[in-house]
Structure 1
């Protein structure tokens, strides 16, 4: 089919303006449509009215497109349901783009009406796929096993024998642990322990309601619990008696006093006792630094006057 030459034509998207056709596709150049629009180039002569044969061929073409879309949809549905969904989704997307955004002359969609036609083809594809799926699901093939309805008989089904359910009462004795307590005993040494009373476990009786089905236990529930023998607590005494204080060691005995020996005569000075201090012009302690002429070996206790100055430290004992 030959394309019209390049010229200004009514805009297929907006009839109130003109759009430039470059001989192959619509461009973005537009111009307001005057009241008596005249194209910049001589428009080609209007085609003669379609003949009856042309209309008939267009009708057969449209019918072929519809049938072809249904057949393609059925084939795709048998091959893969996902394939028909993908194809239909793409066609719907392209149709909506042409209808809302702009035509796609490269795909033969030059106007918004062509987008409506593409949307209809997508619907025909889905319709053909649905018809094919319904036929394939309801008509068995030679390679598929066929199910035949079983012939029911009038033999009555035997009634099931009821399973007997009985209930029993069961008891169980479980030990009850005793408690351990302590008491303070001031008669025991601190830190010592003694067992006063031994602990004894008690006894608790648990009563169950047992359910039996055909003689087999299936469940049990506690009905009551009672302590038949109470436990006896264990008692331990802990001593708190303070230990006796440790006696302090006896002090060392004091040194025996130097006996007072009074030298009454024999050339001993009576002012001293414990040793004989000679009567002389001067007496010094033996072993000391004095130069005599007389010496005394101490210790010597002063009982009178220290006329020889023997008690240098004034403690009453000289030459010690």
Structure 2
């Protein structure tokens, strides 16, 4: 059996085919490995972006009803009282404050109040007015004590130790119509108000020359 040798053209064709096969193999190897590298790179980049973005919390909004009360001041008035002396007064009815009730709708966001709306405003307890009685009665004028008549002064010629009749001032006075010898006389009766210097009241009952 003889060996056939290739001619120059045959070896040329074999050389071109071998070179083409080598190029195709290298390209296939490169193509087979490159997609895996690109896939890993994309997957790694995607994981980094998702893990670094923080989650946004949802705010908690709540609505509630709140009731508050406040005092309602009372009024003060006065009335005239003819049975009370002018310039005096007294509280007849004590004042009492009332109560006002307000209801609000309150909205909070994450525990912080963000709005408040008044939905009811009512006076739940009415105030009581304070009443003061003021006197108008005029007190009667105080009666003046009666003027005392000035004591009648005894005439200068009458002895002040006696009243009822003028007992003259003399060295001696006797009751008229009696047994005395004067020199001066007095007609009684005479009341002794001091010292019986002339001894006119003999019986000592305070009345002389009876």
Question: What range is the shorter-chain TM-score in?
Answer: 0.3 to 0.5
Identify, as 1 or 2, the structure richer in strand. 2
TM-score, with length taken from structure 2: 0.45
TM-score, with length taken from structure 1: 0.31
